[in-house]
C-alpha cells in the first residue's frame, strides 16, 4: 500500500487501539496514513468518510450507520478487527454467540480444552483479550475460542470451524433496527461453514436452528430436555445456580466431545468451575446477596430470579428499547416483595415490572441510593439480587465497573 492510502479507525476504545497498534507494527501498512476517529475527539467524526480507502469499524458503531453505508456505496472498504483476524488467523477458530452466556461458555470450554491444547489455546472477546493482540502469538497448532457479538458478526464473511449458538432473545434494540436484523446479524457464525465444520446450537428457541441451517457444516442440536446420561451427570455436579448455567455447561460439553476430550476431564472442569465475576456471583451470605451486573437484558433478570428466588430485586440502567413484559410476569410469580429501581430507565421499569400492588417499589437516582436502602431494609432471611437488566452506560463505563461499584458500596454499607 502506498503513502496516499488512507485508513480510518472508527472508535478508539480497546479494540480501536489494538487495530492502530497492529497496523503500525505491520510492514504492509507502514506507508499508509492512519487516522483514529472518535466522538470523544470530535462530534463530527463521521463526516467525510468517503476520503478514506479503508475504514475499520469498531463493534460499538452500528454497521448500518448512514455515514458508513454511504462510504461503502462510494467504494470505501469497510472492515473490522474481527474480519482482519479471521483473514490472518493461522489456526482453527471456535466461535460462540448468543444473547447471554457467551463468556461463561467460552471460559468453561477453554478449561476443558486445555487438557489437550495447553498454553496453545487462546480466549478472545469480552472475557479474553483483543483479537489483534493475540494474532502475532498464534501458530498452526494453536486454537482460538472467540466470543462473538452481533456487532462483530454482522459484516463477517467467514465462519468459525466450530460454532456454538446459544439462545437468541431480544437484545441491543438501541443498536439494531429490528430483532430480525439482530438475529440475522449473528448468522455469519454458521453461514460460511463448509461440510468439514460443525455448529452446535440450542433447540430452546427457533433462532439458533435457523442460524445453524444457513451453513453447510454438521449440525448438533441440544436442549435441557435431552434424555442423555451425560446431561444427568452434569446436573449432579455443576456448582453454578440456574438452568441457564446448566445449558452453558452442556453446550461446552458437546463442543468438547466433538474435539475428543474425555468425559472424565470434561466433568472435572465443570465440577471445579467457579463461574465468572458479576454473573450471579454470591458476594454476601446470610443475607444472601447476588451480584449479576453482567445482566443487560430482561431475559437475564428472569434467569437470575429463577436461579436465586430473591425477595429483593435491584435493577436499572440505560434504556436499550427492550420489552420488559415477560419480566413483569416472572416477578409476579416470584417471592419478590421489594424492588429498587435506579438509572435511565427507572420510570419505564416502574410502569412495567413495578406494576404490582403486592410489591413495594422505590425509585432512586443512583445505584448508591439503592444500596443504602438495601442496608436499611434487608433482613437475615432475605435474598437480594442485583440484576440490572439494562446496559451500564448511563452511569458506568461498562458492566464490570458497575459490578465493582456494587461490591464496593456493599462493603461500605453492610458489614
- CATH code: domain of residue 400: 3.90.190.20
Structural domain tally of the chain?
Answer: 3
Is 104 annotated as belonging to a binding site? yes
Q: What is the CATH number of the domain that holds 43?
A: 3.40.50.720
Please report whether residue 342 resides in a domain.
Answer: yes
- Whether 313 and 406 map to the same domain: the answer is yes
Q: Residue 1: what pLDDT?
A: 65
Is 227 annotated as belonging to a binding site? no
Q: Are 129 and 199 in contact (CB under 8 A)?
A: no
Is 114 annotated as belonging to a binding site? no
- Whether 255 and 132 map to the same domain: the answer is yes
- Mean residue pLDDT across the chain: 93
Please report whether residue 1 resides in a domain.
Answer: no
Is 98 annotated as belonging to a binding site? yes
N-terminal to C-terminal alpha carbon distance within the chain: 61
- Whether 185 and 251 map to the same domain: the answer is yes
Q: Residue 23: what pLDDT?
A: 95
Q: Which domain holds residue 190?
A: 83-272
Q: Residue 4: what pLDDT?
A: 77
Please report whether residue 354 resides in a domain.
Answer: yes
Q: What is the pLDDT of residues 271-284, one digit of tens each?
A: 999 999 999 999 99
Is 75 annotated as belonging to a binding site? no
Domain boundary among 272, 292, 316: 272
Please report whether residue 97 resides in a domain.
Answer: yes
Confidence category of residue 250, pLDDT binned at 50, 70, 90: very high
- Whether 216 and 94 map to the same domain: the answer is yes
- Whether 24 and 97 map to the same domain: the answer is no
- Whether 138 and 246 map to the same domain: the answer is yes
114-118, 142-146, 152-156, 411-415 — which is least confidently predicted?
Answer: 411-415
Is 217 annotated as belonging to a binding site? no
Average pLDDT over residues 140-168: 95
Strand partners, 35: 8
Domain boundary among 79, 110, 141: 79
Q: What is the pLDDT of residues 312-344, one digit of tens each?
A: 999 999 987 788 999 999 999 999 999 999 999
Q: Residue 30: what pLDDT?
A: 87
Q: Are 164 and 249 in contact (CB under 8 A)?
A: no
- Whether 102 and 152 map to the same domain: the answer is yes
What is the rounded CA–CA span in Å between residue 347 and residue 251? 37
- Whether 87 and 193 map to the same domain: the answer is yes
- Whether 74 and 88 map to the same domain: the answer is no
Is 118 annotated as belonging to a binding site? no
Given a cut of 80, whether residue 254 has pLDDT beyond it is yes
Average pLDDT over residues 62-79: 94
- Whether 124 and 52 map to the same domain: the answer is no
Domain boundary among 232, 254, 272: 272
Average pLDDT over residues 296-307: 95
Q: Which residue has the higher pLDDT, 205 or 108?
A: 108
Amino acid at each position: 500500500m502506498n503513502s496516499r492510502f488512507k485508513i480510518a479507525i472508527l472508535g478508539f476504545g480497546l479494540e480501536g487501539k489494538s487495530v492502530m497498534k497492529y497496523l503500525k507494527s505491520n510492514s504492509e501498512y507502514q506507508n499508509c496514513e492512519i487516522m483514529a476517529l472518535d466522538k470523544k475527539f470530535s462530534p463530527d467524526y463521521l463526516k467525510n468518510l468517503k476520503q478514506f480507502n479503508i475504514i475499520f469499524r469498531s463493534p460499538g458503531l452500528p454497521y448500518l450507520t448512514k455515514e458508513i453505508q454511504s462510504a461503502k456505496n462510494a467504494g470505501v472498504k469497510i472492515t473490522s478487527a474481527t474480519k482482519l483476524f479471521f483473514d490472518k488467523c493461522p489456526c482453527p477458530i471456535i466461535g460462540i454467540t448468543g444473547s447471554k452466556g457467551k463468556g461463561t461458555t467460552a471460559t468453561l470450554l477453554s478449561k476443558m480444552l486445555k487438557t489437550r491444547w495447553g498454553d496453545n489455546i487462546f480466549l478472545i472477546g469480552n472475557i479474553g483479550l483483543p483479537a489483534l493482540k493475540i494474532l502475532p502469538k498464534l501458530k498452526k497448532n494453536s486454537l482460538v475460542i472467540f466470543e462473538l457479538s452481533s456487532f462483530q458478526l454482522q459484516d463477517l464473511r467467514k465462519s468459525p470451524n466450530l460454532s456454538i449458538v446459544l439462545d437468541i432473545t431480544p437484545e441491543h434494540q438501541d443498536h439494531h433496527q429490528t430483532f430480525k436484523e439482530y438475529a440475522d446479524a449473528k448468522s455469519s457464525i454458521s453461514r460460511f461453514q463448509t461440510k468439514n465444520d460443525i455448529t452446535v446450537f440450542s433447540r430452546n428457541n427457533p433462532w439458533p436452528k435457523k442460524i445453524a441451517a444457513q451453513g453447510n457444516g454438521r449440525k448438533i442440536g441440544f436442549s435441557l430436555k435431552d434424555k442423555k446420561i451425560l446431561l444427568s451427570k452434569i446436573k449432579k455436579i455443576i456448582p453454578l445456580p440456574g438452568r441457564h448455567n446448566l445449558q452453558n455447561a452442556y453446550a461446552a460439553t458437546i463442543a468438547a466431545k466433538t474435539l475428543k476430550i474425555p468425559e472424565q476431564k470434561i466433568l472435572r472442569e465443570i465440577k471445579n468451575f467457579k463461574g465468572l465475576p458479576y454473573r450471579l456471583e454470591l458476594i454476601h451470605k446470610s443475607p444472601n446477596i447476588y451480584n449479576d451486573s453482567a445482566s443487560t437484558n430482561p431475559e437475564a433478570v428472569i434467569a437470575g430470579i429463577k436461579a436465586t428466588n430473591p425477595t429483593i430485586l435491584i435493577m436499572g440502567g440505560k434504556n436499550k428499547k427492550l420489552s420488559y413484559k415477560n419480566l413483569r410476569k416472572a416477578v409476579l410469580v416470584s417471592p419478590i416483595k421489594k424492588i429498587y429501581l435506579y438509572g435511565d430507565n427507572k420510570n419505564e421499569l416502574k410502569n412495567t415490572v413495578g406494576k404490582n400492588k403486592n410489591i413495594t417499589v422505590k425509585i432512586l437516582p443512583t445505584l448508591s441510593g439503592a444500596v443504602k436502602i438495601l442496608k436499611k431494609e434487608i433482613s437475615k432471611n432475605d435474598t437480594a439480587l442485583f440484576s440490572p437488566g439494562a446496559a451500564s452506560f448511563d452511569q458506568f463505563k461498562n458492566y464490570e465497573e458497575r459490578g465493582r461499584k456494587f461490591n464496593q458500596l456493599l462493603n461500605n454499607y453492610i458489614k
